[in-house]
């Protein structure tokens, strides 16, 4: 069939069949492209029918928090690999971005992951600074966020100005690890303790958590020592330490914990004043071999220890050591549990993450045994998990944190009810320097 195309001025052109077909193809392509551009503008990117589910991972892989980031990433990947990087018939695309441990970089990378890579959910995040920044981005842009890195600021999952309906946290908060420590310390018969904690919001948060529970039981903090972060020499603090106390409670993350561990025994305190190390910052797994006998007998509290004899944990530790060549501390299991929660929730919504509130509800409903113990979440999206009191002992020639007491199902307000917790007048921000005053610590609103 021949068609004549009429153009202005009455000139008739009869293009070849080839030319016409090519032109039609070109027109169609342009129309399709135009339509696509229009649709892109009108639609939420996450609503596009795409088979793979994209998960944006925000972790510090360079800078001072690089080790925490790397370990969390290993944990995340271990679980995703275990399920073949797929859930509910969808492939899981992991896109990893380095936050450098800086809040501004973290937000830039979050934006890149969501807006350019079309990630439907974000996970990871280590430092509290990053956590607060990414939390704000997630809330403003309605992006589901699963904290699977340390990110321990209490307020992130408590009623208050920071609470974000799009957030779930499977890792930890500042106060519960300390509350368990306080309970155990009191039961052990300690009534007066002194404390050494890094001078920053996290340190005060943790020690307030301890003092609050310890005071309520009838104990007392006799002295507060707040060495700044990156204190080179703990000598002045150790020399001034209250030696009439029953024990010293510590929280000194990073290189500080390693230094404190060495210097504590050098200054002759080991064996004189027992140590209760909240979060295991001195007896951190990579410190143990380096500190050697200096740490033997140190008590610590955490929601994990690689020495747990459960099938979930033994399997986890074997695989983790294969990948990293070292014992896991808290970060690896946290990442692993984060990935597990994500996969379970994706399965529960059958791979459809478009209804964000439904996805968040599915996340909050997850319940499974993990290397850390049994995991479930409360209505604010905060993990309910087991706390362990550990003692550094030599097992088969290696020093490890052996569990000696267990506190199952600890929620974020434990040992208080939410109502009782909210009835206290002062938060940790008001109490640095007043933790020795139980009257003020326990003052009601």
Partner 1 sequence: MIWVIHTLNGIAFGMLLFLLAAGLSLIFGLLKILNLTHGSFYLLGGYIGLTVMRLTDSFVLALLAAAITIALLGAVIERFFLRRFHLDELPQTLLTFGFLFIFADLSLWIWGGDPLMLAQPRIFAGSLPLGDYVYPYYRLFLIAVGLVVAGALWWFQEHTRLGTMLRAGVDDAEIARALGVNVSLLFTLIFAVGAALAALGGVLAGPVLSVYPGADFEALILAFVVVIVGGLGSLRGALAGSLLVGILDDFGKAFFPEFALFTVFVPMAIILVARPTGLFGRG
Residues 410-439 that bind partner 1 (CB under 8 A): 433
403 counts as binding partner 1 under rule CB under 8 A: no
266 counts as binding partner 1 under rule CB under 8 A: yes
Closer to partner 1 by CB, 148 or 252: give it: 252
Q: d(Cα 437, Cα 420) in Å, to the nearest integer?
A: 19
Stretch that binds partner 1, among 117-125, 170-178, 265-273, 340-348 (CB under 8 A): 265-273
* Binding letters toward partner 1, positions 285-304, x by CB under 8 A: -xx--xx-------------
Contact with partner 1 (CB under 8 A) among 62, 398, 406, 423: 62
At 46 the three-state DSSP class reads helix
Q: d(Cα 161, Cα 172) in Å, to the nearest integer?
A: 19
In whole angstroms, how close is the CB of 202 to partner 1 at the nearest point? 16
Q: What ranges in 241-393 are assigned the alpha helix state H? A: 255-266, 285-291, 311-324, 331-348, 356-364
Q: d(Cα 294, Cα 288) in Å, to the nearest integer?
A: 9
Q: d(Cα 207, Cα 172) in Å, to the nearest integer?
A: 15
Beta strands 220-225 and 192-197 are parallel
Stretch that binds partner 1, among 78-86, 228-236, 380-388, 397-405 (CB under 8 A): 228-236
Contact with partner 1 (CB under 8 A) among 236, 297, 369, 408: 236
Residues 6+ apart with CB under 8 A from 352: none
In whole angstroms, how close is the CB of 227 to partner 1 at the nearest point? 6
- Which of 304, 296, 290 shows the shortest CA–CA distance to 394? 296
398 counts as binding partner 1 under rule CB under 8 A: no
Beta bridge partners of 123: 57, 146
At 222 the three-state DSSP class reads strand
227 counts as binding partner 1 under rule CB under 8 A: yes
- How is residue 326 written in tokens? 């070292």
233 counts as binding partner 1 under rule CB under 8 A: yes
Contact with partner 1 (CB under 8 A) among 90, 262, 372, 390: 262
268 counts as binding partner 1 under rule CB under 8 A: yes
Beta strands 12-13 and 86-87 are unpaired
In whole angstroms, how close is the CB of 55 to partner 1 at the nearest point? 24
The DSSP code for 73 is H
232 counts as binding partner 1 under rule CB under 8 A: yes
Applying CB under 8 A, the residues found at the interface with partner 1 are: 62-68, 70, 199, 225-228, 230-233, 235-237, 239-240, 254-255, 258-259, 262-263, 266-268, 286-287, 290-291, 433
């Amino acid at each position: 069939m021949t068609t004549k195309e009429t153009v202005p001025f009455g000139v008739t052109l009869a293009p070849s069949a080839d030319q016409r077909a090519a032109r039609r193809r070109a027109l169609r392509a342009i129309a399709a492209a135009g339509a696509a551009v229009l649709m892109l503008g009108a639609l939420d990117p996450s609503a596009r029918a795409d088979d793979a589910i994209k998960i944006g991972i925000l972790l510090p892989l360079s800078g001072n928090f690089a080790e925490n980031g790397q370990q969390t990433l290993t944990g995340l990947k271990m679980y995703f690999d275990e399920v073949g990087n797929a859930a509910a018939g969808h492939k899981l695309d992991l896109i990893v971005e380095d936050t450098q441990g800086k809040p501004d970089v973290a937000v830039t990378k979050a934006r890149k992951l969501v807006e350019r890579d079309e990630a439907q959910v974000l996970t990871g995040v280590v430092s509290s600074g990053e956590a607060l920044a990414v939390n704000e981005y997630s809330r403003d842009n309605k992006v589901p966020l699963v904290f699977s890195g340390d990110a321990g600021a209490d307020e992130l999952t408590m009623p208050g100005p920071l609470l974000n309906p799009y957030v779930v946290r499977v890792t930890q908060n500042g106060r519960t690890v300390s509350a368990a420590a306080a309970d155990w310390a009191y039961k052990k018969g300690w009534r007066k303790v002194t404390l050494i904690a890094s001078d920053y919001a996290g340190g005060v948060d943790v020690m307030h958590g301890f003092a609050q529970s310890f005071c309520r039981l009838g104990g007392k903090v006799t002295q507060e020592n707040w060495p700044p972060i990156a204190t080179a020499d703990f000598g002045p603090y150790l020399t001034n330490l209250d030696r009439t106390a029953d024990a010293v409670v510590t929280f000194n993350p990073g290189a500080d914990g390693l230094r404190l561990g060495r210097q504590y025994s050098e200054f002759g305190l080991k064996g004189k004043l027992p140590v209760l190390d909240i979060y295991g910052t001195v007896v951190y797994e990579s410190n143990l071999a380096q500190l050697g006998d200096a740490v033997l007998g140190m008590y610590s509290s955490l929601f994990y220890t690689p020495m747990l004899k459960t099938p979930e944990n033994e399997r986890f530790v074997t695989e983790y050591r294969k990948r990293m060549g070292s014992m896991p501390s808290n970060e690896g299991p946290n990442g692993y549990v984060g990935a597990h929660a994500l996969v379970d929730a994706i399965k529960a919504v059958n791979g459809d993450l478009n209804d964000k509130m439904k996805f968040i509800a599915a996340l909050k409903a997850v319940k499974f045994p993990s290397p850390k113990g049994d995991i479930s979440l409360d209505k604010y999206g905060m993990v309910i998990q087991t706390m362990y009191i550990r003692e550094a002992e030599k097992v088969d020639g290696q020093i490890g944190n052996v569990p000696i007491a267990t506190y199952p199902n600890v929620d974020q307000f434990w040992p208080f009810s939410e109502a009782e917790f909210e009835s206290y007048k002062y938060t940790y921000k008001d109490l640095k320097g007043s933790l020795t005053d139980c009257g003020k610590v326990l003052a009601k609103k």
